[in-house]
Amino acid sequence: MRAVQLTDPGVIEVREVPVPTIGAQDLLIRVGAAGICHSDLTLIDFPYKMREEPLTMGHEIAGTIEAIGDDVVGHQVGDRGVVYLCWSCGVCRECASGNENVCEAAGRTAMPPCPGLGPDGGMADFVRVPARSFVPIGDLDFCLAAPMADCALSSYHAIRGAQEQLRPGSTAVVIGVGGLGHVAIQLLRATTAARVIAVDIGPEQLALAERCGAEIMLESGPDTAAEILRLTGERGADAVFDFVGVDATATLAVQSVAPNGAYRMVGLGGGAPELTAGPAGGPGWPWGASVRKSYGGTKSDLIDSVALARSGHLDVEYQRFDLADAATAFDQLRAGVIRGRAVLVP
């Protein structure tokens, strides 16, 4: 089969490799579509190899069951689904509580094995997955379903973790209207009564935010925090979701979140918000506000996201590329010209 593989730091190739062999509790999935994420670029840019052998990339996977392991029950060949990306142990206290994304078996890093980040991923014709990671999607288009595995999952999890702040009359700020951000706007509109303010650079991104349901679109700049304060009676936003995560967006979040508000860090840009133990006031961290570094989500979050998509409340704007054109898709993502999500189709 064909697979998009990271063969050396900074080098990706479409290579011919054997079809994966599955175990007794696995499924073999014929890939229908695989999304491309900014974290894939981070992986490509790592200065060292993740493992000695080439790694098949891709953690946003949708497809059809091609073969079933001997001990698997409840699935049939031909079933259509999306793959939950946190391959947790399934038996620890966190997993039993429904928090598979912070599985105890993963230690303090709290990042269970994830396809395309250790095990081989789904930018290929076929992929082996644990049977318990398979979530049915009905007749959803694969190109829409694949990004659910991260775009919707991570956004939904971050929003669900700030539900206390997202009451009627509240204000939510979404920073970065990319793959995750444009989905987050739709999720906020579908699951909360919050007013949504979108922040990004450039008219195309802000137009995308408006199409997704944002009520106010702000161009990111030195006066953005002051404008958010003005729009909220100088109190600040009840929840700020940062899907970029660089120093500038972290500073914006600190300066614009309300007392008792929620700041959720989702983007992996390495930004460092200035949180001090000094008295609150001015542009610094306000009293009672919480900050949470949000990783992925739970399997339940993915099931809910798929249900929203199937009921017509959630869509993903995507650009389709053939699997053989993976390098072009990565180049366009790096150049910042992808609107929504890039999706590879075998």
Q: Are strands 55-56 and 2-8 parallel, antiparallel or unpaired?
A: antiparallel
Question: Would 53 be classed as within a structural domain?
Answer: yes
Question: Would 12 be classed as within a structural domain?
Answer: yes
Residues near 77 by beta carbon (within 8 Å), at least 6 away in sequence: 65, 66, 67, 68
Spatial separation of the C-alpha atoms in residues 326 and 323, rounded to whole Å: 5
Q: Which residue has the tokens 């840019």?
A: 45
Q: Are strands 341-345 and 318-322 parallel, antiparallel or unpaired?
A: parallel
> What is the pLDDT at residue 268?
83
Spatial separation of the C-alpha atoms in residues 137 and 311, rounded to whole Å: 11
Spatial separation of the C-alpha atoms in residues 193 and 212, rounded to whole Å: 15
Spatial separation of the C-alpha atoms in residues 275 and 271, rounded to whole Å: 12
Q: Helix H segments across 13-111?
A: 38-45, 93-96
> What three-state secondary structure class fits 183?
helix
Do 327 and 259 lie in one domain? The reply is no
Q: What is the pLDDT along the chain (346 residues), one digit of tens a residue?
A: 999 999 999 999 999 999 999 999 999 999 999 999 988 998 999 888 878 899 999 999 999 999 999 999 999 999 999 999 999 999 999 999 999 999 999 999 888 999 999 899 999 999 999 999 999 999 999 999 999 999 999 999 999 999 999 999 999 999 999 999 999 999 999 999 999 999 999 999 999 999 999 999 999 999 999 999 999 999 999 999 999 999 999 999 999 999 999 999 999 888 898 888 877 777 789 999 999 998 899 999 999 999 999 999 999 999 999 999 999 999 999 998 898 899 999 9
Do 178 and 316 lie in one domain? The reply is no
> What is the pLDDT at residue 51?
83
> What is the pLDDT at residue 52?
84
Q: What is the CATH number of the domain that holds 91?
A: 3.90.180.10
Q: How crowded is the C-beta side of 116, counted as CA atoms within 13 Å?
A: 31
Residues near 137 by beta carbon (within 8 Å), at least 6 away in sequence: 62, 80, 81, 82, 145, 148, 306, 309, 310
Q: How crowded is the C-beta side of 300, counted as CA atoms within 13 Å?
A: 8
- Look up the domain containing 122 and give its range: 2-150+296-345
Spatial separation of the C-alpha atoms in residues 278 and 54, rounded to whole Å: 49
Spatial separation of the C-alpha atoms in residues 280 and 285, rounded to whole Å: 6
Do 84 and 192 lie in one domain? The reply is no
Last residue of a domain, one of 293, 311, 334: 293
Query: What spatial distance separates the first Cα and last Cα of the chain, rounded to whole Å?
Result: 10
Do 109 and 249 lie in one domain? The reply is no
Last residue of a domain, one of 293, 319, 335: 293
Question: Would 156 be classed as within a structural domain?
Answer: no
Do 172 and 234 lie in one domain? The reply is yes
- CA 173 to chain CA centroid, nearest Å: 17
Tokens of 17: 């490799």
> What is the pLDDT at residue 111?
87
Closest among 262, 342, 322 to 39, alpha carbons compared? 342
> What three-state secondary structure class fits 198?
strand
Angle at 38 between CA 18 and CA 219, to 5 degrees: 160
Handedness of CA 135, 137, 143, 148 (dihedral sign): negative
Spatial separation of the C-alpha atoms in residues 60 and 35, rounded to whole Å: 5
Spatial separation of the C-alpha atoms in residues 257 and 264, rounded to whole Å: 10
Tokens of 223: 């006066």
* Residue 340 vs residues 80, 183, 251, 252, 344: alpha-carbon distances, Å: 23, 8, 25, 23, 13
Do 137 and 13 lie in one domain? The reply is yes
> What is the pLDDT at residue 277?
82
